[in-house]
């Protein structure tokens, strides 16, 4: 999981050559990082002190006040001074705007470009994160359903921006909110696992339900119970022991969409962003998937929240719907380990054209 402070969810559009602002564990964060939920300003007002921040590997320039001349006079054997006379005028307050965000270059598309032309300036500002970070095929089907411009979704984005401006810490990081769309393309989906909301402790959530990317992070109890459920269904996997890490990305590469009903959460406050509009959005994601995705999909809905999300849009028919107990320690003892969802999933997929699938499907 990315160990970095959370920036913002509503970035203004900014081109980036690479994912240089993301860090892997033990790496040195880029020098342009901001404090959590701060709104960096790169512009200066008249008589303000220009910024001396630099891009990685660049040589920082010596800041000067407008029209001032740095002093280079020295006394014998002294070190030349490059300091300037301080400017006593305070910078004028800047309007509250989202900070620049990292744009993923490969996620641009002609459809996105045309879609942006239909938006008002206010809508562009609110939807910049979606435009920049959602995989193009997913973006197209969701935009065509009107999800991004719906009243409930725009209201949700206003709420999130307000929370950030009030200094609230939100997980996952802005670039990971829609990581599920990039990890599992629409046409690849075989299985959907619906979670509740992201992990609310630092260093855990990274946009994939139940998954933790940081290899050094403590295993969340819900995920430990998921592994135990898999071993109950497939004793031969139990012989290999529990996985050494908690990153479920390997599942997404095999077509497992790990989607929470609610995609953001305030730090240390579970369900804090429930009933703010995310549920309507993720229901729309499921509708789009079942309309444009593969013909046969397994949907696992654990817990009442996930069940409501699924029942709102899915009718039993060509898809396999598996409702059951949530793997949380508070409820798992009520039947999660005996409901057999993982083995039922493998059996059903094999019958419906995926003969190559076996218990190794659930290895990470």
Angle at 245 between CA 243 and CA 250, to 5 degrees: 80
Q: How far apart are CA 192 and CA 261, in angstroms?
A: 12
Q: How far apart are CA 137 and CA 192, in angstroms?
A: 17
Given a contact cutoff of 8 angstroms between Cβ atoms, the answer to whether 29 and 18 are in contact is: no
Given a contact cutoff of 8 angstroms between Cβ atoms, the answer to whether 250 and 209 are in contact is: no
Q: How far apart are CA 94 and CA 260, in angstroms?
A: 35
Q: How far apart are CA 182 and CA 149, in angstroms?
A: 21
Hey, what are 346's tokens?
A: 């493998």
Q: Say how far residue 343 (Cα) sits from the centre of its chain.
A: 29
Answer left, alpha or beta for residue 56, where phi above 0 means left and psi between -120 and 50 means alpha.
Answer: beta
Hey, what are 351's tokens?
A: 């019958």
Of 171, 350, 134, 338, whose CA–CA distance to 265 is shortest? 171
| Pairing of the two strands 320-324 and 256-260 | unpaired
Give the residues across from 329 on adjacent strands. Answer: none
Strand arrangement of the beta sheet that strand 256-260 belongs to: 256-260, 191-195, 298-302, 320-324
Task: Enumerate the active-site residues.
Answer: 197
Q: Which residues contact 133 (CB under 8 A, 6 or more apart)?
A: 103, 104, 107, 174, 175, 177, 178, 182
Q: Which residues contact 36 (CB under 8 A, 6 or more apart)?
A: 5, 6, 7, 169
Given a contact cutoff of 8 angstroms between Cβ atoms, the answer to whether 225 and 327 are in contact is: yes
> Residue 101 in 3-state DSSP?
coil
């Amino acid at each position: 999981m990315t160990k970095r402070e959370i920036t913002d969810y509503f970035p203004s559009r900014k081109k980036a050559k690479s994912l240089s602002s993301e860090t892997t564990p033990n790496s040195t964060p880029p020098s342009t990082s901001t404090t959590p939920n701060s709104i960096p300003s790169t512009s200066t007002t008249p008589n303000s002190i220009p910024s001396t921040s630099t891009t990685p590997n660049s040589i920082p320039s010596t800041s000067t006040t407008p029209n001032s001349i740095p002093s280079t006079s020295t006394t014998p054997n002294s070190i030349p001074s490059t300091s300037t006379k301080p400017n006593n005028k305070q910078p004028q307050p800047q309007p509250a705007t989202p900070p620049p965000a990292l744009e993923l270059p490969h996620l641009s598309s002609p459809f996105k470009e045309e879609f942006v032309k239909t938006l008002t300036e206010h809508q562009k500002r609110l939807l910049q994160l979606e435009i920049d970070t959602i995989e193009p095929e997913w973006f197209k089907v969701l935009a065509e359903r009107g999800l991004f411009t719906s009243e409930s979704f725009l209201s949700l984005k206003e709420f999130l921006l307000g929370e950030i401006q009030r200094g609230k810490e939100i997980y996952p990081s802005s670039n990971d909110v829609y990581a599920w769309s990039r990890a599992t393309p629409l046409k690849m989906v075989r299985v959907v696992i619906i979670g509740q909301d992201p992990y609310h402790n630092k260093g855990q959530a990274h946009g994939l339900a139940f998954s933790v990317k940081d290899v050094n992070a403590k295993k969340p109890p819900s995920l430990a119970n998921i592994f135990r459920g898999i071993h109950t269904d497939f004793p031969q996997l139990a012989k290999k022991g529990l996985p050494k890490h908690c990153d479920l990305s390997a599942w997404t590469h095999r077509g497992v969409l790990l989607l929470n009903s609610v995609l953001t959460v305030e730090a240390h406050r579970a369900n804090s962003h429930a009933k703010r509009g995310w549920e309507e959005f993720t229901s729309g994601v499921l509708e789009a998937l079942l309309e444009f995705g593969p013909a046969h999909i397994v949907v696992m809905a654990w817990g009442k929240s996930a069940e409501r999300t699924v029942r709102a849009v899915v009718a039993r028919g060509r898809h396999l719907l598996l409702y059951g107990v949530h793997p949380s320690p508070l409820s798992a003892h009520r039947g999660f380990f005996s409901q057999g969802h993982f083995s039922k999933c493998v059996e059903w997929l094999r019958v419906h054209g995926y003969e190559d699938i076996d218990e190794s499907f659930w290895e990470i």
